Amino acid sequence: MKVPEPGLGKGLKVGLPVVFTGLVASAWENEINGKDRHGISLRADAVTAKAGA
């Protein structure tokens, strides 16, 4: 997940439920050494701790 540094919410830690603001998923594919590769890249404007968690 790529998030611009100013978009990182305070108090984030491993295992904490989060909310993504402006989440966008983009499909990609390419060929590397004759093998087709594909996946989904994710980008968000911000990640913050879920309220009440």
Return the bridge partners of 2, or none: 43
Query: Average pLDDT for residues 3-9, to the nearest whole number?
Result: 67
pLDDT at 2 over 70: no
- Residue 3: its pLDDT value, please? 65
Best CA proximity match to 26, nearest among 8, 40, 7: 40
- Cβ neighbours of residue 47 closer than 8 Å, sequence gap 6 or more: 1, 3, 7, 8, 9, 12, 18, 19, 20, 21
What mean pLDDT comes out for the span 6-32?
85
In the chain, pLDDT over 70 holds for what percent of residues? Answer: 81
pLDDT score at 51: 84
pTM (2 d.p.): 0.63
pLDDT value, residue 34: 92
